[in-house]
Amino acid sequence: MAHTFRGCSLAFMFIITWLLIKAKIDACKRGDVTVKPSHVILLGSTVNITCSLKPRQGCFHYSRRNKLILYKFDRRINFHHGHSLNSQVTGLPLGTTLFVCKLACINSDEIQICGAEIFVGVAPEQPQNLSCIQKGEQGTVACTWERGRDTHLYTEYTLQLSGPKNLTWQKQCKDIYCDYLDFGINLTPESPESNFTAKVTAVNSLGSSSSLPSTFTFLDIVRPLPPWDIRIKFQKASVSRCTLYWRDEGLVLLNRLRYRPSNSRLWNMVNVTKAKGRHDLLDLKPFTEYEFQISSKLHLYKGSWSDWSESLRAQTPEEEPTGMLDVWYMKRHIDYSRQQISLFWKNLSVSEARGKILHYQVTLQELTGGKAMTQNITGHTSWTTVIPRTGNWAVAVSAANSKGSSLPTRINIMNLCEAGLLAPRQVSANSEGMDNILVTWQPPRKDPSAVQEYVVEWRELHPGGDTQVPLNWLRSRPYNVSALISENIKSYICYEIRVYALSGDQGGCSSILGNSKHKAPLSGPHINAITEEKGSILISWNSIPVQEQMGCLLHYRIYWKERDSNSQPQLCEIPYRVSQNSHPINSLQPRVTYVLWMTALTAAGESSHGNEREFCLQGCLFS
């Protein structure tokens, strides 16, 4: 942008000069303006400007009536009565300054006599950092340099190149901002050690200066073209047998390769000598998209590297999975003879899966008989079946891609909460920032050293125990007594949290409700029925919709008061239980009509009241 502005300013200056020269015959008919010592001066110099009238060009031929005025651009700087005016000017700025001489006669407009431009600048500084390069074996030699400060004057640059057998090439540039020239010649590798010398000289009206000579050989300045036609092959579709191919210019001796997974910022670098357009890569990861680039050089120690090639992106083949699935399960009794087993497992990490998982194989076996009872293939990360409540059962789950299967994860199905002495103690769940819950506990009463691991399990709390609600879990080492759960945690949702302590084929558990964020419920329970039972009443209600609970409910409150009474209502507070939806009240008076309603409370506060219902114990006569 700065170069564009300066270029436009220079063009504007030249246009003004040309217009002034073109108009000089008309503008200077009455007199002349002379400048000494020169129209081009060094910054800080003084100039003398003289304006003189030609014979019989004054006011009424009387010199005392001639008033000559000197303008610097449009500002008056001096005047004199007579046929001539002399003015000494100092402190002119860099660039071009225009002076105009005018004649003022009595009772008439000023008449332009003549004008002159003065160009203020500096001699060129010595060009620095001259360097030359030839792009490719068939390219041409071009050189760049640093001009130094602007001269603000017309400056000519001459670039000269001398070679073997007294050969000389020369190019000129007449742009004051010139810092690049291309000789248009090609150096060949016939004498790769022959010396060439380049020098640039800057010349203007105030002086000249030459750069230090830059001496180089063919190998020093030829920068190869970037490699092209890059491709990769995997023999027998194996990531361990990978070869990268490319094409190079004929004299290339050294290559450097860089490659990285597409989602990484860090490059792996490899330098190879005499590769001849191929190199084997042995450390690529399976089923990973990589980016590859190659650069070239003609000599081990001389010259410069080419630009990096265009990127090649390619995905490596799959390999057999290496990881093992993290499997968890739930048991639910159906009746006296059957139980439902729900298995859940987490996806393998990308590095473990080493390909696209196509399906999972689940094997269910009754250990006593040693016979595989059920085998199933599923594309989901869960599986549910019904088995007898008798016998010892085990499951094995493995993941498969196009190259094979992971090692199976084997677990024995047991009653995870059967051993009361293994139950973790003092379990608590507290909000820990946005969408995080910190679960803490104390080791079980039984010898804590018997615990092999803890499992913390959580799922959204749904009245009725909906088994379709997604299950989440994490495993914790036996010496840990806390876990931060954050996966699939949402604000204003209550979670049922269980902590299991596992030891061999035994387990104990404790549970608690927790939420990451809460506020007062949006509504109270809806009373759907009031029935009379032996002098008391039983109130039944519908649960508050989960999306309106706004966290974990702690209590229900049942309010009642006599109809049309202004007294404060009585209330009964009930601890919240997931499965509870009815409660008896036995303090109502017979034959009195009451109004009843309910609210719900979280740790943040109480909801608005739900619907109102009227009831009269032992019947009433309504008017």
User: Exposed, middle or buried: residue 51 (CB in 10 Å: 0-12, 13-18, 19+)?
Assistant: buried
Q: Are strands 180-182 and 605-606 parallel, antiparallel or unpaired?
A: unpaired
Q: Which of 100-109, 250-259, 261-270, 402-411 has the lowest mean pLDDT?
A: 100-109
**Residue 23: pLDDT band by 50, 70, 90 thresholds?**
very low
Which one is predicted more confidently, 474 or 435? 474
Phi, psi for residue 564 in degrees, rounded to 5:
65, 15
Query: Are β-strands 393-401 and 404-405 bridged in parallel, bridged antiparallel, or unpaired?
Result: antiparallel
Q: Quick one: CA dihedral 145, 150, 151, 155, positive or negative?
A: positive
Alpha-carbon 363 to chain mean position: 44
The secondary structure of 561-605 as a DSSP string is EETT--SPPEEEEEE--TT--EEEE--PPBT-EEEEEEEEEETTE
Tell me what the pLDDT averaged over the chain comes to.
89
Report phi then psi at 288, rounded to 5. -135, 135
Q: Given pLDDT bands bounded at 50, 70 and 90, which one contains residue 18?
A: very low
- The model's confidence at residue 623, banded by pLDDT at 50, 70 and 90, is very low
Nearest to 414 by CA among 505, 332, 490: 505
Residue 62: the pLDDT is 59
Mean pLDDT of 178-195: 90
Q: Strands 453-460 and 605-606: what pairing?
A: unpaired
Query: Amino acid letter at 303?
Result: G
| Beta pairing partners, 242 | 234, 281
Percentage with pLDDT > 90 across the chain: 71
Segment 411-438 shows an average pLDDT of 91
Residues near 529 by beta carbon (within 8 Å), at least 6 away in sequence: 539, 540
Is there a contact between 546 and 493 (Cβ–Cβ < 8 Å)? yes
pLDDT category at 12 given cuts 50, 70, 90 is very low
pTM as predicted: 0.69
Following CA atoms 79, 81, 83, 85 in sequence, which dihedral angle do they give, to the nearest 10 degrees? -30
Return the DSSP state at 353.
H
- CA dist 360 and 525 (Å) reads 44
Q: Which residues contact 45 (CB under 8 A, 6 or more apart)?
A: 37, 92, 120
522 CB burial (10 A radius; 0-12, 13-18, 19+)? middle
CB atoms within 10 A of CB 552: 20
Average pLDDT over residues 59-64: 64
% of the chain residues with pLDDT over 70: 93
Q: Do 289 and 261 contact (CB within 8 A), yes or no?
A: yes
- Please report the pLDDT score of residue 56 as a whole number: 80
- CA angle 535–539–540, rounded 5-degree value: 145
In which band, very low, low, confident or very high, does the pLDDT at 25 lie, cut at 50, 70 and 90?
very low
pLDDT class for 4, splitting at 50, 70, 90?
A: very low
Q: How far apart are CA 399 and CA 345, in angstroms?
A: 10
C-alpha closest to that of 241 among 289, 286, 282: 282
Q: Helix, strand, or coil here: 39?
A: coil
Structure tokens at 297: 């050089």
Give the count of beta carbons closer than 10 Å to the beta carbon of residue 273: 9
At residue 2, the pLDDT reads: 44
What does the pLDDT look like over 530-545, one tens digit per residue?
998 877 899 999 989 9
Q: Within its chain, how far is the Cα of 40 from the centroid?
A: 56
User: 156 pLDDT exceeds 50?
Assistant: yes
Measured CA to CA, the distance from residue 112 to residue 106 in angstroms comes to: 15
* Residue 5, H or E segment: helix 2-27
User: CA nearest 579: which of 485, 496, 499, 471?
Assistant: 496
Q: What pLDDT is stored for residue 573 in this prediction?
A: 93
Q: What is the pLDDT of residue 220?
A: 93
The two three-digit tokens of residue 118, written as one number: 């003065």
Classify strands 393-401 and 359-366 as parallel, antiparallel or unpaired.
antiparallel
Which long-range contacts link 207-210 to residues 24+ away (Cβ below 8 Å)? 207/123, 207/124, 208/123, 208/124, 209/123, 209/124, 209/125, 209/126, 209/127, 210/126, 210/127
Q: Compute the distance between CA of residue 295 and CA of residue 227 in angstroms, rounded to an integer.
A: 6
pLDDT digits (tens, 9 = 90+) for 297-334: 999 999 999 999 999 999 999 999 998 999 999 998 99
3-state secondary structure 373-392: EEEEEECCCEEEEEEECCCC
